[in-house]
Structures are given as C-alpha cells and as structure tokens.
Amino acid sequence: MIKDYNDLKWDAIQRMEEVERCLFWQGSLGRTELALRLRMSNPQTTAILKQYQQLNPGKIGLNNSSKRYEVNDSVKNLFYTPSLSDLDSHSDTFEIDSYAMSAPSRRTPMDVVRNVARTIYQNKSIDIFYHSHNEPNGKRRRITPHTFVTTTRRTHIRAWCHESKGFRDFIVGRISETGTQSEPGQTLMSDEAWHTLLILKLKPNPKLDSAQKKLIEMDFEVQEGVREIKVKQALLWYYFELYNLWPEHQIQDPKHQPVILGNIDIMAFLNKVPTKK
C-alpha cells in the first residue's frame, strides 16, 4: 500500500506539489481547504493526505485544536521547490500579497521569445530584424540561438551570428521582427566564451566605514574579505554593468558602488572575445 515516489502518476505528483506549496506558504492546511483547492471530494482528499503522510513521514501532523494539518519545517519537501516567482504566480490563491516592480527597460515581447524558443528546440537558425547600438535603425540578421539568458536587467539570447561569424548576445526587446527558419550555424558546443568559467573577485568599497562594510559583506556573502563568483566569460560584461565595476567609476559614492573589483586582471577577458563592449 505504501507507494514509492516513482509509482505516482503525473496527476498525483501535481497534487502532492500543491500540498507542499500550500504548506510552505501558509504553514498549515485544512482538509476542506485542500478539497476546495483540488476540487475533490472529502473522502478522496483524506486519502491524498494519508498518501502524503506515507510518502513524507513526519512532515505534517493534524493539530486537534486548530483542526488543520501543520507543517514540520525540519522535514524536507519532496515535490515542491519554493521560490518567490512561484509565489507571484500563485499569490492570488493565497492571502499573501506579492508585487513585482514593473521595469520598462526589460520588456520581453513573448512572440519573439516564442519564435526563438522554437528555433532552439528545432536546432535551426532564424532571421531577425535587430536594432543594435551601431545600427539603431535595425538590420536583418540570421542567428542560431542556443540559450536564453536572464540577467538582472534584461533577457538576452545567446546565439551564433551568421553575419559577423561569431557568438553574440541579442537583447530580446531589441528584436522587432522574426522571420523564417533555416539550417543552423555553429551550436552551443563551439561557444567557447560560454563554456569558459572565470573567477570574479568582489571586495567591499574601501570608502565605506567598517560597520557599513559589514553590511555589504552580509549582502554579498563575503568570506574573508573577498567574495568569489564563478562567471561565464560570455557574461562577464553584465557583472561589470550590474555592480558598476569599471575602475574609472571608483570615484563614485559608495552607495552606488558598494563593491569594487578584486582582480583587475580579469578585465582582459572583457574584450578578448567580442561579446559586447
């Protein structure tokens, strides 16, 4: 009768995930509440909760006083990995408000995303009309995309550019049109700057006093004065942009530049492969 995690069918896994989702955000879950959420009858809901208890013993227990199942956070989740973006998409069903600041500079036209995604899925290339810094009015290009890259500022597409014969990043919001698909160029495998990992070292800005430094060390999880981050060479430029790391900006107010570059030599990699300058 006790089933293994792997014996469950897809439907059952979805339900178990929903159970854990409720438990994580609410801390407790009533049977009637679950029956309403899953639109199921009471006997079946009871069965599901029993099944959950067998699969993940000790995670939940009925509190006779509140008449609700209460969660034991020291037992790990089996089905649900919590994240804030998940709260965003489910906050309407919980009574927990969640608000994402809208930022127009990051607009991501979903029809472009869709057509590029399908190009990746089919291992093809695609015609795009792209507005770059050098050609703001736009130019037709053919690219073989391999990965969507979400930086803190915008969404990019990492792709082989058939025009410039190299791997480049394309900002999704600057693609105004997508065209027909055709045979691919170079693929993920040969994107060296993508596969090269560098160590980026960050230090608190020395202009901060020691108490403020501690705060920054907390924010950045600094260990022994330096925070080391493994960074794809292809994305190095965006880390400079994010943390405002260019040495010529170090004159700035440390409020706008809480960390500075710990290994200047890494800047050599910024231009080595023409990623984006």
Residues that bind DNA in the complex, under the rule CB under 7 A: 9, 11, 30-33, 39-44, 46-50, 62, 64-65, 67-68
Nearer to DNA, 10 or 99 (CB): 10
Nearer to DNA, 64 or 180 (CB): 64
Verify binding: residue 120, its own copies, rule CB under 8 A: yes
Verify binding: residue 92, its own copies, rule CB under 8 A: no
- State in Å, rounded, how far the first CA of the chain is from the last one: 61
Q: Are 48 and 19 contacting, i.e. CB atoms less than 8 angstroms apart?
A: yes
Eight-state DSSP code of residue 155: E
Verify binding: residue 110, its own copies, rule CB under 8 A: yes
Angle between helices 31-38 and 42-55 (to 10 degrees): 110
Residues in 44-83 that interact with its own copies by CB under 8 A: 73, 82-83
Nearer to its own copies, 43 or 136 (CB): 136
Verify binding: residue 24, its own copies, rule CB under 8 A: yes
Closest C-alpha to 192, from 167, 163, 159, 171: 167
CB-based contacts of 34, cutoff 8 Å, min separation 6 = 19, 22, 40, 45, 48, 49
Residues in 29-48 that interact with its own copies by CB under 8 A: 37-40
How far apart are CB 119 and its own copies at their closest, in Å? 9
Closest C-alpha to 55, from 4, 99, 106: 4
Verify binding: residue 130, its own copies, rule CB under 8 A: no
Over the Cα atoms of the chain, what is R_g?
25
Closest C-alpha to 72, from 57, 55, 59: 59
Nearer to DNA, 3 or 249 (CB): 3
How far apart are CB 157 and DNA at their closest, in Å? 29
Verify binding: residue 223, its own copies, rule CB under 8 A: no
Verify binding: residue 113, its own copies, rule CB under 8 A: yes
Nearer to DNA, 28 or 212 (CB): 28
Of 221, 224, 251, 268, the one binding its own copies (CB under 8 A) is: 221
Verify binding: residue 27, its own copies, rule CB under 8 A: yes
Residue 218 class from Cβ within 10 Å (0-12 exposed, 13-18 middle, 19+ buried)?
Answer: exposed
For residue 41, the partner it binds in DNA, its own copies, none, with Cβ less than 5 to 8 A by kind, is DNA
Nearer to DNA, 40 or 78 (CB): 40
Verify binding: residue 141, its own copies, rule CB under 8 A: no
Task: Give how far the C-alpha of residue 148 lies from the chain's centroid of Cα atoms, to the nearest Å.
Answer: 10
Task: Map residue 40 onto helix, strand or coil.
Answer: coil
